[in-house]
A and B are shown apart, each in its own frame.
Chain A
Amino acid sequence: MKKLIIVALLALSTTACFKDSDINVDPNRSTSVDPALLFSGAATQFSLLRVAELTWPVALMNQMWASGGRWGLSQAQYDQTRIRSAWGRTYTDVLKNLNVAVDIAQSSQPVNKNAVAQCKILMAFAYAQTSLLWGDIPFTEAATGKVDFPKFDKQQDVLNGCVAMLDEALGLIDVNSKGIVAPNDLYYGGDMAKWRKFANSLKMRILFSMVDADASKGAAIGQLIAGGNMISSSADAMLYKYFNQPGRQNPRFSFTAIFRGGVQSDWYCSKPVYDLLVSLKDPRIPYFFQPGPDAAANEFIALNSVETYTTKSALVNMNLLKADLPEVSFSYSEQLLFEAEAIARGFAPGGFDAATTKMRAGVKESLVSFGVPTAQADAYAAGLPVLTTANYKTVLAQQQYLDLFMRPIEGWVQHRRSGAVGQEIPTMTTPTGAPVAGLIRRLLYRSEEVNSNPNTPSGLTLDAPQWFDK
């Protein structure tokens, strides 16, 4: 009897259980998607990391800004505890989603070549940025889910790979057809001509980061400039726009709004930057900084990397932390200054006169972008010394560094490549109490990666130069 019941019940249950049921089909998520939707997510995440999590710790560690001990982060300790998600999110939320978007775009009929190109350009940007922060990183085996323990590619291979990826993307661009368009292309609204310009400019920036370690890149830079089709006006700049609406504000603004009730009291004026501005009689001082609440008007008191703030300490100007300021991925002033450098270093023709002209144009553009009135900007640019073999390195590097004041990621690359180890421009010294003897030259791999990927390089110190850093 018992057996009969069991058998009957078993038979009953097994035949009916979920064979043709859709009960386990997820009603919350989709099994297919338009690549444009993946692209907008990847771009938003990437920009957010650049403008927030990768801004503050990097700016502080590199003395671009000062913490004044106000923020719970040990500036002089090269404290990276606040760069917790950038590594992982870059791979999982940016690169992986772009990879998936590429796969979908490639398998659609007809192949959406422009979408593939847009995704690949952003991927090259993200890989190059990640490598310039951490050094050797997973590249060839990364972000596909196919390799369990991605190997760490050498930095030169990563950067060369990014250049190749950009070349591939450039080959796919067809300005007469559509790719990912507005609103999902949050940078250029689907304008493929601008994407082409950005791809070329980005390629140049990557080549510039390599040229000190690999002299052959000079010729490549020359060719690129000869070919034109690069960012040629401020309208071409690669910007991710924020809006003065809740949840769409620039996080640099939200930080102050959330933690400090809207009163900027975290980011202070750093001495190396301030001293450089003073030495150049640079009109950007009141645009970069605002006096402390108890300081006199126009009294700017800078802090070094271990000093504690006072109510007189000058702060990073709230005008640079506005809610609707875009995240800048590539600016026109940056382009002009790179071109000046290419000419000055002989990668491109024209000699020092042409280089000086480009530099002055770039500096003017930079000043204007920070809010300096045009006339004042013109006067300052015109007053800059004519570039010569003797001075070009210093003069250009100073201007390039200041131009990147609100872009610590690029600013740090610029500083490291501005001279041999110990001879960077502007001069900086290791903060008292730093855990290593030198300036910080790389971020350390996150423990999540160290613990899960046996291929993670070990034994690197914070002041060990990366391959490019010559």
Chain B
Amino acid sequence: MKRLLLFLVALGMSLLGWGQSRTISGKVTSPENEAVPGVNVLLKGSNVGTATKVDGTYQITVPDKAGTLVFSFIGYKTAEVEIGNKTTLNIQLEADLVNLNEVVVTANAIVREKKELGYAVSTIGGSELVKARDPNLLNSMAGRIAGVRISQQSGTVGGSSRVMIRGANSISSSSEPLFVVDGMPISNSSFNNSETDIVTGGVDVGNRAGDLNPDDIETMTVLKGAAASALYGSRARNGVIVITTKRGKEGAKKMNVTVNSSYRTDNVLRVPELQTEYAQGNLGVYNPQLGNGWGPKISSITGPVRDYKGETVQSLQAYPQNWKNFFVTGHTMINSVSLDGATEQGDYRIGYTNLRQTGTVPGSELNRNTFAINAGKKITDKLTSRAWVNYVRTTSDGRPQQGSNTTNIIATILAGLPVTVDINELKNNLFAPATQAVPAGWTGDLARSIDLNGVQNNPYFVTTFNRFSNSVDRVYGGTSLSYDVAPWFNVTGRVGTDFFTENRRSVTRKGTRGRLNGQFETNDIFERELQTDILGTVSRKITDSWSFKGIVGHQFNQRTIRRSRLLSEGLNIDQLYTFANAQSNVPSNFFSRREIFGVYGDFSFDYKNYLFLNVTGRNDWSSTLPVNNNSYFYPSASVSFVLTEAFPNLGIVKNDILSYAKLRANYANVGSDEDPYQLSFTYNPLTQASDIYTFNILYPIGGASAFGATNILPPTNLKPQQQTSYEFGAELKFLGGRIGLDMTYYKTLNYDQIISIAVPQTTGYSARRLNVGEISNRGLEAMLTVTPLKTRSGLRWDAAFNFNRNINRVESLAPGLSEFITTSGDGFGIFIVARPGETFSIQGVGWLRDPQGNIIINPTTGLRTPGPRKVLGSIYPDWTLGINNSFSYKGIDFNFLIDVRKGGVINSQTVSIVRGSGLAAETAVNNRTPFVDPGVIRNADGSFSPNTTPVASVQQYWSQLDNSVSPENNVFDGSYTKLREVRVAYNLPKSWISKTPFGNISLGVEGRNLWIISSKVPHIDPEANVLGTGLIGEGLERGSIPSSRTIGGNLRFTF
């Protein structure tokens, strides 16, 4: 490190004192002759530049012999003006509908003109994000960006959202993109990574990208391919979401104040449709102790009978709205205020946002306070500095558990609630257990359980007492120093960090059914990422036609994770959650650190501003790979060609039929490292012995601690993982921008993946770690924008169609391996499986079928027979389509977004439960008359004939369709059409507020996740997924909290 500094200092010294300079000034105006602030003024072929002030004036210092100034601003055509001998240059810009010169923030906070780029990028401006504010920023992206799929995982407050760009890139690990804020990578972890955490009663704790505050974001750019991001290092192979935070802007006043307030309400979008006719019981016989709907018709019950509380009643009544009544209306308040300002010497912005949210699950809440400071200072003409810090504190309480195997799963409790139970009675009965005498022979405690068997918890008991809470304190930010060694040479150094501590506690009160002695789990997580960059940038004009820009840099990245966990079981005193109050405390801890050194170069050539060539290369040294093989190099190349500028005289171009055409192509290769500590044969201290039932035996037992040798055979001769990709794209605009089409075809191949590949367990190991496996994605992204209507009166209608099709394919696994189970949902009865030649699929036991595919029916029972495990469907959609329509008229914006998904499947445990328990509406049709299940029976001679045996009972029919017998009937086509978002925004005319202290006032009304227009999944929102962001796989719903429909309003003003 020291040597590097010395070298750079020497380099800097040698370059000092080059060149002489002069100052140019002027004013930039619009076609309407109004001053245009914020116009980029750049000396062509260099990185010397400035921006116009609020009055449209600028001042720029350029070298003596400088040639041309380039003026660019979104919405105007770029103007290039020869300087010659002038010292004053006043420019009037021409309006441009085609938006040619949009600038984009690419790797390492480097700003590029979009037309230079040989790869697809998409940008969302911060103003889009604050019009309909979602507590999780990622959700605001859904349906808006080609090639990016956002899926909200649950209706939990602060729940996580999964992002996938251009399909899954790994067989064994999650393919989440890298998040970069102001040039520094930040964490998007969720620490819900283990299957046991998720499957057995996990809590959706959200993902850390949810900490990002929409109000502090200037732009969000999605770099979709590896070519876009080779400079970020290996993690960029899944794509990068580049976020630039807001900076102070020069305004009419020294300080601009912006206030933005939103209020939203959440209600559950969809709950299962239940039957209202049948009471609990078995085969039509009433049994108040059972949690189902398989009893007789409620109307047929005439007293005296015992109800579920054991009280003698004369009749029973149906309460069909139990689900709806259990969930409450959630409220969200988001208030933010920011102060900013700028002068030529510097800029600053301070932002504060407070978010308070209550969820649809009673008692669940989330609070978030965000402080953001971003300040830059021009120290000398050549030296500028910047520092930015964000502090986020998020606390939440009462997030519900999902999954299975604990009695705290709200959705599972509700799914087994007999319709004769009044949920309000459960609520009111919660605190008065003593008033209820328990009938002889019955063991229940109604305050805690909803049945007198004392098996199932009262859901209000769970939400009131068995609470999960967490708090996250997070700081991310950095500082940079930038020095213009010469007008064409800049050196920038940057240090950034992102660290947080998260404290979690999950308590289970004594007396909870299933955890009678009570327990609590405490989890402390610390994560830190540190990165330094030193980069030099050279911009030179080579000839009149050619110019060059080169960047070389060095990067150091360190990531540290520390976690400690304590499971405390057996509480002596009720509700006292201290370690000393527990009869057993089992601690465990974990530490991991990894480092990477990287050097990189990025070289761009520009020919006449219409042909651009870019080559990059990077070499990394990773701490996690074998010392002798820890270095890997990866290159990329891209080319961009602006046809319309190369051939401006073509007829169609001249006539503005083809207003803009850019072709692009790129190739990239990305190498990557491996998780830390995977190289040696190790012995693990064990905390527990397990079987599949989760009654883990904890160590020490009988005074004995225990160790186990690793179950993963460590690798020999490990190589870095590789990804190669290429893409071709075209960006076309017609009729002066009224029609636009941006299309990309891409193909990605991941190989030499470092995977723990299953070996026969009889080897004594479950897996061997090695380089193996290929997985590819190819696909098409297309964004069609049309402006069907644009009138002089200011009415404008824009429509955008955003289409994605990705074909994911597992090309090969290890020799001899026919499949790879990426996520074993053994507890679900299903698996997410990779098989060569196919995409990731859900597998599970299917029904036995004859060669023609008819279901074989058991001739005795009339029921289906479970057969072997089979593929039940692909987890990924065939294609998705977002349709966004916006209308604007005199300051009013009306916008709606429709989201379409076609293909892929989802397995729903909730559906399985409500059907299997006889509570779903469809189980009550036709008075439960036994029917003949269409299928065949196997004759003695092996032939098949149509089944004529009716099912033994409707109850047995639906029970047989349970997930644990065969998930086949609970796997549904995941296609849907949703009205994702509707919003109306209104900017008050300036003339109305010119006499007030306000600079700008806008009002908005928004609705999100409003309507499932069509879906083939019964009872639940087809988007639900219990696996969260950490595990591979989608399409598994188990005990998920229903998603929310959100309606809210927004008020934003500046003064």
**Chain A residues packing against B (C-beta within 8 Å):** 1-2, 5-6, 8-10, 12-14, 16-19, 21, 23-34, 37-38, 40-42, 44-45, 48-49, 52-53, 72-74, 77, 81-82, 84-89, 91-93, 95-97, 99-100, 137-138, 142-145, 147-150, 182-184, 186, 241-243, 245-249, 251, 254-255, 257-263, 265, 293-294, 308, 311, 432-433, 435, 446-449, 451-454, 456
B695–A255 CB distance below 8 A: yes
Interface residues of B in 438-460 (CB under 8 A from A): 441-443, 449, 453-455
Q: A452 contacts which chain B residues (CB < 8 A)?
A: 758-761, 817
Residues of A within 8 A of B441 (CB): 293-294
- In the complex, the answer to whether B764 meets A258 with C-beta atoms within 8 Å is no
Do the beta carbons of B691 and A86 come within 8 Å of each other?
yes
Chain B residues with CB under 8 A of A95: 764
With most chain B CB atoms within 10 A of its CB, the pick from A5, A31, A82 is A5
Is the Cβ of A23 less than 8 Å from the Cβ of B623?
yes
B817 to chain A, nearest CB (A): 7
Chain A residues with Cβ under 8 A from B630's Cβ?
A: 17-18
Contact present for B764 and A99 (CB under 8 Å): yes
The list of the 6 closest CB pairs from A to B, nearest first, reads A96-B764, A247-B698, A41-B706, A183-B703, A246-B569, A143-B764
CA distance A93 to B965 in the complex (A): 29
Q: Are A245 and B583 in contact (CB under 8 A)?
A: yes
Q: Mark B686-711, 1 if CB is under 8 A from A, else 0.
A: 10111111111111111111111111
Nearest chain A CB to B358 CB, angstrom units: 30
Verify if B516 is at the interface (C-beta below 8 Å from A): yes
Minimal Cβ-Cβ distance residue in B for A82: B692
- The answer to whether A44 and B706 touch across the interface, beta carbons within 8 angstroms, is yes
Contacts of A293 in B (CB 8 A): 441-442
Minimum distance in angstroms from B36 CB to a CB of chain A: 37
* Cα distance A308–B598 in the bound complex, in angstroms: 66
Q: CB-CB contacts of B800-828 with A at 8 A, as 1s and 0s?
A: 00000000000000001111010000100
List, in ascending order, chain A residues with CB within 8 A of B685's CB: 29-30
Chain B residues in 8 Å Cβ range of A31: 680-683
Across the two chains, which residue of chain A brings its CB closest to B570? A246
- B652 on the A face (CB < 8 A): no
A sample of 6 inter-chain contacts (CB < 8 A) reads A30-B682, A37-B705, A41-B708, A149-B816, A182-B703, A258-B694
CB-nearest residue of chain A relative to B548?
A: A2
Which of B523-531, B721-729, B857-865 contacts the other chain?
Answer: B857-865
Do A32 and B683 touch (CB < 8 A)? Answer: yes
Alpha-carbon distance between A261 and B65 when the two chains are bound, in angstroms: 86
Q: Is B763 touching A150 in the complex (CB atoms < 8 A)?
A: yes
Please, which residues of chain B bring their CB within 8 A of the CB of A38? 683, 706-709
Give the distance in Å from the alpha carbon of A72 to the alpha carbon of B713 in the complex. Answer: 36
B211, CB-defined interface residue at 8 Å: no
Instruction: Decide if A144 touches B764 in the complex (CB within 8 Å).
Output: yes
B762-A261 in contact (CB<8A)? no
Chain A residues positioned under 8 Å from B683 (CB to CB)? 29-33, 37-38
* B682 lies within 8 A of A451 (CB): no
Q: Distance (Å) between the CB of A150 and the closest chain B CB? A: 5
Contact bitstring B580-610, A, C-beta under 8 A = 1, else 0? 0011101001111111011101010000000
Asked if A247 and B707 sit within 8 Å, CB to CB, the answer is no
Check B677 against A448 for contact (C-beta < 8 Å).
no
Could you tell me if A74 and B455 are in contact, using CB atoms closer than 8 angstroms? no
Quick one: which of B697-748 are within 8 Å of A by CB? Answer: 697-711, 713
Q: Per-position contact with A for B649-670: 1 when CB-CB < 8 Å, else 0?
A: 0000000000000000000000
Whether A261 contacts B677 in the complex (CB less than 8 A), given A38-B707, A89-B691, comes out as no
Known: A74-B965, A246-B584, A447-B869. A91 touches B761 (CB 8 A): yes
B92 to chain A, nearest CB (A): 40
Contact between B763 and A142 (Cβ–Cβ < 8 Å)? yes
B282 is contacted by which of A84, A260, A308 (Cβ under 8 Å)? A308
Give complex CA distance A433, B862 in Å: 11
B77 within 8 A of A: no
With beta carbons under 8 angstroms apart, the residue of A19, A44, A88 that contacts B699 is A44
Whether A87 lies near B761 (C-beta < 8 A) is yes
B695 and A248 form a contact (CB under 8 A): no
- Does B536 interact with chain A (Cβ within 8 Å)? yes
Contact with A along B844-885 (1 / 0, CB 8 A): 010000000000001011000110010000000000000000
Asked if A37 and B706 sit within 8 Å, CB to CB, the answer is yes
B792: CB under 8 A from chain A?
A: no
Name the distance in Å between B258's Cβ and chain A's nearest Cβ: 43
A186: chain B residues at CB < 8 Å are 701-702, 704
Task: Tell me the total A-B contact number using a CB cutoff of 8 A.
Answer: 302
Complex Cα distance, B515 from A251, in Å, reads: 13
- A453–B760 CA distance with the chains assembled, in angstroms: 6
Closest chain-A Cβ to B393's Cβ sits at a distance in Å of: 29
Interfacial residues, chain B to chain A (CB-CB below 8 A) = 1, 3-4, 7, 11, 282-283, 287, 289, 407, 441-443, 449, 453-455, 513-517, 519, 536, 538, 550, 552, 554, 569-570, 582-584, 586, 589-595, 597-599, 601, 603, 619, 621, 623-624, 627, 630-631, 676-677, 679-686, 688-711, 713, 758-766, 816-819, 821, 826, 829, 845, 858, 860-861, 865-866, 869, 962, 964-965
Q: Which of A9, A100, A150 contacts B760 (CB 8 A)?
A: A150
Closest chain-A Cβ to B960's Cβ sits at a distance in Å of 9
Residues of B within 8 A of A143 (CB): 762-764
Q: Which residue of A lies closest to B817 (CB)?
A: A452
Are B758's CB and A448's CB within 8 A? yes
A17, A432, A451: the one contacting B631 at CB < 8 Å is A17
Nearest opposing residue in chain A for B814, CB measure: A452
Contact A245 B570 (CB under 8 A): yes
Nearest chain B residue, comparing its CB with the CB of A149: B760
Q: A6-B601, A82-B692, A251-B693 are in contact. List 18 more A-B contacts (CB 8 A).
A: A2-B603, A5-B536, A17-B623, A23-B593, A32-B683, A37-B705, A41-B706, A52-B693, A53-B692, A96-B711, A144-B764, A150-B760, A182-B703, A183-B702, A248-B702, A251-B697, A433-B858, A451-B758
Q: Are B516 and A257 in contact (CB-based, < 8 A)? A: yes
Closest CB in chain A relative to B856 CB, distance in Å: 11
In the complex, what distance in Å separates the CA atom of A224 from the CA atom of B71?
A: 100
| Minimum CB–CB distance for A315 against chain B, Å | 13
Report A-chain residues with C-beta under 8 Å of the C-beta of B623: 17-18, 21, 23-24
Q: Which residue of A lies closest to B596 (CB)?
A: A17
Q: Which residues of B are found within 8 Å of A247, using beta-carbon distances?
A: 569, 584, 586, 688, 696-698, 701
Tell me if A8 and B7 are in contact (CB < 8 A): yes
Q: How far is the CA of A73 from the CA of B584 in the complex (A)?
A: 32
Tell me how far the C-beta of B1000 lies from the nearest C-beta in chain A, rounded to whole angstroms: 47
Residue from the list A45, A91, A93, A183 in contact with B700, Cβ < 8 A: A183
Chain A's nearest CB lies how many Å from the CB of B692? 5
A77, B866: Cβ atoms under 8 Å? yes
Q: Give the chain A neighbours of B764 by CB distance below 8 A.
A: 91-92, 95-96, 99, 142-145
Taking CB as reference atom, which chain B residue is nearest A35?
Answer: B707
Q: Specify the chain A residue showing the minimal Cβ separation from B705.
A: A37
- A137 close to B762 (CB less than 8 A): yes
Give, as a whole number of angstroms, the nearest-CB distance from A408 to chain B: 15
A27 to B562, CA, bound (A): 11
Complex: A249 Cα to B689 Cα, angstroms:
12
Interface contact B680-A26, CB-CB below 8 Å:
yes
Q: A18 and B552 in contact (CB under 8 A), knowing A33-B707, A41-B686, A246-B569? A: no
Which residues does chain B contribute within 8 Å of A150, judged by CB atoms?
760, 762-763
Report B-chain residues with C-beta under 8 Å of the C-beta of A74: 965
Residue of A nearest to B567 (CB): A247
| A72-B964, A453-B760 as given contacts; A435 in contact with B552, CB under 8 Å | no
> A261, B4: Cβ atoms under 8 Å?
no
Residue of A nearest to B7 (CB): A8
Contact B453–A263 (Cβ < 8 Å): yes
Q: Do residues B707 and A30 form an inter-chain contact, with CB atoms below 8 A?
A: yes
CA distance A27 to B561 in the complex (A): 12
The smallest C-beta distance from B585 to any residue of chain A, in angstroms, reads 10
The answer on a CB contact under 8 Å between B765 and A145 is yes
Whether the pair B700, A148 counts as a contact (CB closer than 8 A) is no
A263 lies within 8 A of B455 (CB):
yes
